[in-house]
Structure 1
Amino acid sequence: MKLWLRVFLTGFALWLLTVVVTFATGNPNLIPTLVLLGSFLVPVTFVLWAFTRRHSSEVTSELLFSTFVTGGVLGVLAASLLETYLLHPNPLFFLGVGLIEEAAKLAALAFLCRRLQHKFAIDGIILGASVGFGFAAFESAGYAFTALFTQQGLSLMTLVETELLRGVLAPVGHGLWTAIVGGVLFSASGSRHFALTWRLLGTYLGVAVLHAFWDGWQSIAQVITDIARDPHLFTLLSWGGLVGVSLVGIAWLLVVRRQADREVYAPLWRIPVAR
């Protein structure tokens, strides 16, 4: 059995066991275990799966750990600071969130990978995903912990529901967006140093817009529902919009991945065949 699958199955079993014991005993000391297992399981699994597809030996397990933990924490802290002091409630709020969080993750990725001698796009996708999933894991832990507190008191059920929902959506969120930008960042670097190109800028703005639609789609769905005066539309529009944004992101990543493969195998195409 592959390592990533073994980690996922073991982690999921431990999370379920923790849920059962926490509900059975009501022991608050188990809540941190529940939050951490639920928030980190899917991100860690996807990073391990992506790691097996790296191209360069420079992409070590130490670098992967650094991008996941350090990159994730730096991204969350930078985004929190900037959003607190720069954003105010307005129609463009979610676009501001997308621009800030994607910039924070991109900066963390570039900083942590600046010393790589060779920058292959496929490795940029993997390391970008690692930063994005690290960001998602720490962010999800915060959301899960906050969900515990309700007006009726502590609610373990709300915490579990939040972790399940964010776990299901994690693969098409932060990890996906930063993987796209990471692939383009590395692809644009013809030397040891990262280069700021129009393609990179356009990609960053594009994933920020995807991020904004992802965060703000429920508000858009509510406005459309109110105009149509049909309450049944809300659920359909909410999930339909998220699926649409996810499909756009996945298709975009596949394009970046295809370009990365051409970059890796291009030297082989130039080797003359002996006759």
Structure 2
Amino acid sequence: MFCGNCGARIPDGSAFCPRCGSRTVAATAPGAPQGASRPTSGGAVGWAAGKINEMAGGTDRVELRFGNFFDSVFRRHSPGEADVLFSVGGPTTTPPISRVSRAWPHPWIYSRVFLVLLITFIGLWVFSSFFQNPNGLPGLMFVGALLVPFSVTVFFFETNVPRNLGFARVVEIFFVGGVLSLLCIYPLDALLPGSGVGDFGPALLTGIIEELAKVAAIVVFVKRIGERNYVLTGLLVGAAVGAGFAAFETAGYIFNQGFLGGIGFTWDYMLDSMMNVTLLRGILAIGGHVVWAAAEGGALALADHGTGFSFGHLMSRPFLVFLAISILLHALWDTIPVPLLDDVEIWNGITLKYVLLIVVIWMAIAVLLHRGIEEVNQLSAAAMRAQHQAPDAFPRA
């Protein structure tokens, strides 16, 4: 069997992973059978997540485990744990579905990737600011644009518990998919003229064009997978495409604001302008292109029942629901101002509107993570039955 946290191969029946110390499926108490419904998270967030799930055709109750996203971040981890996870996805390092961990994942490497990129960014800023050396500016722009989107991509890489997509392929999707989605904007813009920001109408057209452009890139890479497109894998592919899109777009905004907008001004003014754009877009990136595209990729995989990608999946109910959610959130994001919501500024141009939009899209992501874990549980249980093995109880990680 394999550890669901670090991906290491461990002896069958182990209660805890000897490498990272995480509890395994075997350590959980017996309870509901695989795929059984579990209690819905309470409150308004749980209710809203349940409604999103119903709109997408889900019938079971949704459990939201946002605490799992952070509970391993501050634990001590050995250097080898990351090496094991980054080695998955090959012919000999992809576990069979019967041996895939069925517990909710506990990602943490994304925080270390973020820290490494942040340290690099600070170093380049010191180099550019204190020494006023322009050679540091291209790196500052690119690392600043990469910082949050790439870290969120690593988060989705960790939550892809089938471990069927190697990190090298994720990097390929990030760069090639990001550029491809940018290129797809222009023919779509020619078909749907009038896009922009400000009023809701042009903002809606922007949302439609840019989300369809990312979907086109997602389809290219989903088709290349060839095998079953797991929901969790679809989330990863979508996140990688969206992250590439976001990083390249942000780098362009930083360049425009710092260089083109800073012509005739002092060095400090130019650098401050670049830093303001980097900081604002970095914070907001957790609820923008990366997760909008992740939702689209995950929803596209919901229509896959082991047959591989089909263009008919683009007309499936789950995909259309999550595509509509992403487009609507994108349109509201670009609508300035939204009455009342944009009147409440939290910090440095970040208004209540953006906070609410981030919460909504992460509820949708949590629903897809829930559906993805359920899918893995059902397939794993079926594989174990086929091998005449008694399935373990559903884990309570």
TM-score by length of structure 2 reads 0.62
CA distance in 2, matches of 1:158, 1:118: 46
Is 1:180 equivalent to 2:290 in the alignment?
Answer: no
Partner of 1:56: 162
Is 1:100 equivalent to 2:209 in the alignment?
Answer: yes
Partner of 1:266: 378
Partner of 2:45: none
* Cα 1:266–1:100 shift into 2, 3 Å: same
Alignment partner of 1:35 out of 129, 141, 146: 141
Alignment of 1:10-21 (within 5 A): 10-21=116-127
Q: How many residues align?
A: 265
What SS does the corresponding residue of 2:308 show, helix, strand or coil? coil
- For the pair shown, the structure with the greater C-alpha radius of gyration is 2
Partner of 2:325: 206
Larger mean CA deviation between 5-14 and 169-178 belongs to 5-14
- Sequence identity (%): 28
What SS does the corresponding residue of 2:159 show, helix, strand or coil? coil
AA of the residue aligned to 2:332: F
* Cα 1:36–1:238 shift into 2, 3 Å: closer
In structure 1, the gaps of 5 or more residues are 226-231
Instruction: Verify the 8 A CA contact 2:124 2:140 in the aligned structure 1.
Output: yes
* Cα 1:46–1:207 shift into 2, 3 Å: same
Cα displacement (A) at 1:84: 6.0
* Cα 1:55–1:269 shift into 2, 3 Å: same
Give the number of the structure whose residues are more often helix, by fraction: 1
AA of the residue aligned to 1:150: G
Alignment partner of 2:188 out of 55, 75, 82: 82
AA of the residue aligned to 2:280: L
CA distance in 1, matches of 2:352, 2:359: 11
Partner of 1:193: 309
Cα displacement (A) at 1:268: 4.1
Aligned-pair Cα RMSD in Å: 2.4
AA of the residue aligned to 1:205: A
CA distance in 2, matches of 1:241, 1:66: 33
CA distance in 2, matches of 1:127, 1:210: 20
Is 1:241 equivalent to 2:371 in the alignment?
Answer: no
* Cα 1:73–1:20 shift into 2, 3 Å: same
Instruction: Verify the 8 A CA contact 1:66 1:112 in the aligned structure 2.
Output: no
Partner of 2:362: 250
CA distance in 2, matches of 1:205, 1:171: 19
Cα displacement (A) at 1:159: 0.2
CA distance in 2, matches of 1:25, 1:124: 44
In structure 2, the gaps of 5 or more residues are 1-76, 83-108, 392-397
